[in-house]
Amino acid sequence: YADFVKEKYKNYYTNRAKGLAEAYKLLAGPFGITRTKFGALVNETNKVERVPTVTDGMVSWFFSVVDDDKSGAISASEFYDVCDILQYSFKRIRTQSYFERTRPDLIHHSFYRYLKQKVEHGTLDKIVIGALVINSILVLIESWFDLNNTDTATSDAIWGFVEFLFSCFYFIALCIELLVMSFDEYWMLQVHKFDFFVTVGLFLAAIYWVLPCTMISESLMHYLIVLRLLRLVVLIANIQRFQILGQCISTIIPASIGVVGILFASASLFAAFGSQFFGGLIYDDAPALQDTDYVDENYDILNFNDFALSFMPLFAMVISGGPYTEFIEAIDHVSKFQGAGIIFFIAWYIVGCLIMSNIFSAFVIDAFLSKYEDNKILDKDTEIDSLDQSYAGEGFRIVAKRGATTDDVYKAMFAEDLKKQESE
């Protein structure tokens, strides 16, 4: 499978290089591709749905990314990177907070400079992380009391007041961040978006709790506890090791669609066969299954009575790594053909467990290790650093974001072969 995918991508990059070479011959003048011709090229690529749209105002920024040597024209070697650069999306964001724009007379105040220093140096983040750890411990203690039904009206009021204080603290920390930081810059990170909605939701719930003549139901309180625990995601997101792990997983999942599709297709085929051959024969009160291990061990949920349920015994075998003897014997008891259960499940064991699941596992392990070692794909791209900020204007900066794609995974897996292919 790896050889097949490797050959596929080698052919893909070979054809891409040939296509770019022909395109460069058509567009290039004596000194390369000019800004005008590049703009005409971008107008054509904007018609392609899979390519991010580049507006007329962003063409100059786009051109500065491709023009690495800043010669004012794109050479052949620079034009080769166009397919990668086309995956970027550009955005012009503010660098000043709303408070700095509306009250410039107060930004030099000693207290404001103190808050900004704490935010920029990460002191506020460390304080919030400490509060998250303490809050998580208290939530676990509160949950333990709740599960053991030892709560009283007084204890509920105390726990509610404690959570009210934590919710107010998180909201104040959020306000301090937005006071000294541009909202555009804050909103760029997904973890900040998650933190924003969780913090605001908890604060609104806390305000509702302290209002007179209001009552929060016990079931709603359980949901709020879960919401508080979700703040642990923010805590984990601040750990670099987990950041890399999350980036690897988010990149590998879309890239593994092909492998998962093979596993699902093979399981669907066996599920269809199982529902046709053994559908309606296996159930709890079946006379042929009385006093069998299948019934005694409560395996009756594993059956082929419809197409959807037929996936249950198949994936149970994949997870456990082998066939269930109780289920095989049950199939033999109800089937007209002796040995049908053995033949069916041994066939699935070979196809599903030994071949398909191992292909999937090998792909995920290989892709993860490749992505983990190749941090330059996951980290900020070098082309972003070469972006000319003179186009942004005062109080703004240009950011170029490029999401990790399926190609990135295979580039990392077959880096040496593709590098050799590119040089050829």
End-to-end CA distance of the chain: 24
Cβ-contact 64, 391 below 8 angstroms: yes
Kindly report, residue by residue over 295-345, the tens digit of the pLDDT: 777 777 788 888 888 888 888 888 877 777 887 888 888 887 778 888 888
Between 55 and 271, the more confident residue is: 271
Cβ-contact 320, 357 below 8 angstroms: no
Q: What does the pLDDT read at residue 389?
A: 61
> DSSP label at 32?
B
Cβ-contact 232, 132 below 8 angstroms: yes
> E strand or H helix at 320, and its extent?
helix 311-320
* pLDDT greater than 80 at residue 403: no
Q: What angle do CA 318, 324, 325 make, to 5 degrees?
A: 155
Cβ-contact 347, 273 below 8 angstroms: no
CA 354, chain centre distance (Å): 29
Reference 23, options 83, 67, 89, 85; nearest CA is 83
Between 83 and 66, the more confident residue is: 66
Between 229 and 23, the more confident residue is: 23
* pLDDT greater than 60 at residue 415: no
Q: What's the pLDDT band for 172 if we cut at 50, 70, 90? A: very high
* Mean pLDDT computed over every residue of the chain: 76
* pLDDT greater than 60 at residue 250: yes
Bridge partners of residue 33, in order along the sequence: 74
Reference 341, options 323, 328, 324; nearest CA is 328
Between 327 and 153, the more confident residue is: 327
Cβ-contact 344, 277 below 8 angstroms: yes
Q: What angle do CA 111, 113, 117 make, to 5 degrees?
A: 120
